[in-house]
């Protein structure tokens, strides 16, 4: 089950982020997420490491895509990779589609 919680805060400092994650923890009745997807905010990343040391921190696609666009060659591979990155796949589907892309582009 996927749960998405959105918060709007007026300050991006450590104390605010700790408060935010404490509120999240209360809302989840103490159940800790195995992964947390956020932007590249360094303060939030550090707070996540402290508050949820066992959680995996992941960057959202919005932050990853510009990096992909500027660094991936060959460019004919790019549309398939972007589609792949934004897909919601089970592990077996991911592995199958990844292998198909590798074969298609001779990577």
Cβ atoms within 10 Å of 21's Cβ, excluding its own: 20
**Could you report the average pLDDT of every consecutive run of 10 residues in the chain (107 residues)?**
74 88 85 83 88 87 84 79 85 92 88
> Rounded to two decimals, what is the model's pTM?
0.60
- pLDDT at residue number 72: 78
Structure token pair of residue 73: 């060659």
- In angstroms, rounded to a whole number, what is the distance separating the alpha carbons of residues 2 and 35? 11
Would you state the pLDDT for residue 2? 67
Q: What is the reported pLDDT for 41?
A: 84
Structure letter (DSSP) for residue 106 = T
């Amino acid at each position: 089950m996927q749960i998405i919680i959105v918060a709007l805060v007026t300050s991006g400092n450590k104390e605010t982020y700790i408060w935010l994650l404490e509120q999240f923890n209360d809302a989840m009745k103490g159940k800790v997420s195995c992964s947390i997807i956020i932007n590249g905010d360094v303060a939030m990343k550090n707070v996540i490491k402290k508050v949820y040391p066992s959680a995996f921190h992941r960057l959202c696609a919005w932050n990853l895509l510009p990096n992909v666009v500027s660094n991936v060659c060959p460019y004919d591979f790019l549309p398939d990779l972007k589609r792949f990155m934004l897909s919601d796949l089970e592990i077996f589907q991911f592995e199958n589609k990844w292998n198909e892309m590798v074969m298609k582009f001779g990577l």
